[in-house]
Amino acid sequence: MYLFILFCVLFLGPHLVFSETFPEYFKFAVSTSAYQVEGAWNLSGKGPSVWDWYTHTYPEKIADGSNGDIACDSYNKYEEDISFLQDLGVDYYRMSISWPRIFPSGYFNEINLEGVEYYLNLFKLLKAAGIEPLVTLYHWDLPLVYHNMGGWTNPLLADWFGEYARRCYELFGSYVKYWITLNEPQTTCTNAYSYGTFAPGYSLNGVATYICAYVHLLAHAKAYHIYHDEFYAEQQGKVSIVLVTYWGEPNNSSSEADVAAAKNFLQFSMGLLAHPIFIGNWPQVVIDEVDQKSELQGYTRSRLPKFTDEQVAYIKGTADFFGLNYYSTYMISDNTNAAEILYPPSYGTDIKITLGLNSSWPNSASSWLYNVPWGLRKLINWVSNQYNKPEIIITENGYSDDGSSIDDAGRIHYLNGHMCEVLRAISDDGCNVTGYTQWTMMDNFEWNAGYTERFGLIHVDFGSDNRTRTPKSFYEWFKNVVKTNTINCTGF
């Protein structure tokens, strides 16, 4: 009998019971960002951001010609938003502060107290509801003046960002214990500075791509050090950054070239930002490839800006956990042809790969988003192995619908699969994942897709003046997972 019980505990336990229960310390959250939900773009003293300028100047670059002028109107409806969060029972709420809402000129010569008050009220209400704020300092809404001075290609932005971070720690640090400096520099440096699809719409592929990453890293490190030098002793919080990549699976796993190509892809996408922070300096493969190619292209210096030894040391170790976003996977093939293409220079030809998809993967309302749950487990393992087993918080993962129905079976399917893979990464693989954040709490302004792609667990009626919020089916499903701390992974 004892032997039988021992057998059950040791062998069956982890599979039958434990594999479906999240660890006790595990935290659940939902996420939003300021520009995507707040609205009130020019009210109560707020200054303009690069997204205000971009959507107003180039409406044709947004799928439905829309903008975030009103968005979900969360500037006025935050109390209702918080009551939804409370009802959901989440441990955290990931949100961002709009820099130009509190410093309208972008600089620190004037402060908009109404904007400060807004965030203080929000944090107080969250605390009262027992919800921990996880606050992103910068989620893409750069004060317009900095864009006019070159934005993320201007290294001085690192100092301005550092000062902005200092002011936020001073103003809000007694309420906020989890800070994210920057959201997804990878996405900014590709979509916004290389391909021209996000504000400010720069098409400076292969050059600005790396300058942008360089400036983000200096800015992040500055904000991290300011916290630890000036605030940590009193505030005792944690500071990190949110990084994203697709998982890259070798197209043909028995082809050495494809396996190497998939490795390169991950170093160029995730490694570009994570290696300097978690290991030190750019990944060697990025240095080698971009330097060599720049020379072949006749540049007098590499397109990859170099860090000094002091900068390498300054950036290294500036994360108290790993903020990881995951949405989808690509099949990666080696592309030796790209190695021969010299002009125009591009990030894509630097990596020398071809991106592919598997036709069996279910799609979403976003052309780039497929339902590939195992990619998340592989990515978590890859991050754990590359960066010495950091604490990982999944800071975004989500699925888009087209807004036509609140019956979102596709979302339940996507998130059930992904959350089960997170659980396996913890219980079967021993990765240190401590939290999971669903993107996003409610339908909102989805950047260049406008309101045509909806990631919310709450539907928002953008045609109604009061932006009526209606929970989708996934809402109750997620609420139950949060409440019971368990998930049914049969068939996933």
Does 335 participate in binding ligand PNW (rule CB under 6 A)?
no
Exactly one of 67, 112, 187, 384 binds ligand PNW (CB under 6 A); that residue is 187
Residue (264 or 448) nearer to ligand PNW, CB: 448
In the 8-state DSSP scheme, what is residue 21?
Answer: B
Does 446 participate in binding ligand PNW (rule CB under 6 A)?
yes
| Interface characters, 451-480, with ligand PNW (x: CB under 6 A) | ----x-------------------------
Element (H, E) at 147: helix 144-148
User: Residue 230, Cβ neighbours under 10 Å: how many?
Assistant: 14
User: What span, in angstroms and rounded, lies between the C-alpha atoms of 434 and 418?
Assistant: 15
Q: State the amino acid at position 464 in one-letter form.
A: S
In the 8-state DSSP scheme, what is residue 252?
Answer: S
Residue (187 or 349) nearer to ligand PNW, CB: 187
Query: Helix, strand, coil: what percent of the chain each, to 5?
Result: 45, 15, 40
Q: Compute CA distances 397 → 108, 212, 348, 419, 426, whole Å.
A: 34, 24, 25, 9, 17
The residue whose Cβ lies closest to ligand PNW is 368
Element (H, E) at 248: strand 247-250
Provide, rounded to whole angstroms, the least separation between the CB of residue 261 and ligand PNW: 19
| Sheet containing 353-356: order of strands | 247-250, 329-334, 353-356
Does 401 participate in binding ligand PNW (rule CB under 6 A)?
no
Active site residue 396: yes
Check the CA dihedral 378-380-385-386 and report its sign.
positive
Does 326 participate in binding ligand PNW (rule CB under 6 A)?
no
User: What span, in angstroms and rounded, lies between the C-alpha atoms of 45 and 70?
Assistant: 15
Exactly one of 184, 258, 350, 401 binds ligand PNW (CB under 6 A); that residue is 184
Does 108 participate in binding ligand PNW (rule CB under 6 A)?
no
User: What span, in angstroms and rounded, lies between the C-alpha atoms of 427 and 421?
Assistant: 10
Exactly one of 51, 327, 451, 462 binds ligand PNW (CB under 6 A); that residue is 327
Residue (38 or 184) nearer to ligand PNW, CB: 184
Does 282 participate in binding ligand PNW (rule CB under 6 A)?
no
Exactly one of 183, 294, 397, 448 binds ligand PNW (CB under 6 A); that residue is 183
Provide, rounded to whole angstroms, the least separation between the CB of residue 186 and ligand PNW: 8
Q: State the amino acid at position 317 in one-letter form.
A: G
Residue (187 or 335) nearer to ligand PNW, CB: 187
Would you say 153 and 215 are in contact if contact means Cβ atoms under 8 Å apart?
Answer: yes
Provide, rounded to whole angstroms, the least separation between the CB of residue 195 and ligand PNW: 10
Site for ligand PNW in 24-53 (CB under 6 A): 33, 36
* Residue 61 tokens, joined: 């670059």
* Residue 441 tokens, joined: 């709490």
What are the counts of helices (DSSP H) followed by strands (DSSP E) for the chain? 21, 13
Provide, rounded to whole angstroms, the least separation between the CB of residue 284 and ligand PNW: 25
Residue with token string 């300096």 = 281
User: What span, in angstroms and rounded, lies between the C-alpha atoms of 247 and 38?
Assistant: 31
Q: How many residues bind ligand PNW (CB under 6 A)?
A: 12
Site for ligand PNW in 359-398 (CB under 6 A): 368, 396
User: What span, in angstroms and rounded, lies between the C-alpha atoms of 394 and 438?
Assistant: 8
Cis peptide before 344 (omega within 30 of 0): yes
Point out which span in 37-45, 181-189, 287-295, 338-346 binds ligand PNW (CB under 6 A): 181-189
Query: Of the listed 184, 421, 446, 453, which one is catalytic?
Result: 184
Does 439 participate in binding ligand PNW (rule CB under 6 A)?
yes
Provide, rounded to whole angstroms, the least separation between the CB of residue 386 and ligand PNW: 20
Active site residue 476: no
Rounded to a whole number of angstroms, the distance between the first and last alpha carbons of the chain is: 33
Point out which span in 110-118, 142-150, 183-191, 409-417 binds ligand PNW (CB under 6 A): 183-191
Residue (249 or 446) nearer to ligand PNW, CB: 446
Query: Of the listed 38, 249, 289, 396, which one is catalytic?
Result: 396
Beta bridge partners of 407: none
Query: Dihedral through CA 64, CA 105, CA 140, CA 354, nearest 10?
Result: 90
Strand ranges, E, within 295-444: 322-325, 329-334, 353-356, 392-396, 433-439
Does 141 participate in binding ligand PNW (rule CB under 6 A)?
no
Residue (180 or 277) nearer to ligand PNW, CB: 180
Point out which span in 166-174, 182-190, 220-228, 330-338 binds ligand PNW (CB under 6 A): 182-190
Residues that are catalytic: 184, 396
Q: Which residues bind ligand PNW (CB under 6 A)?
A: 33, 36, 183-184, 187, 244, 327, 368, 396, 439, 446, 455
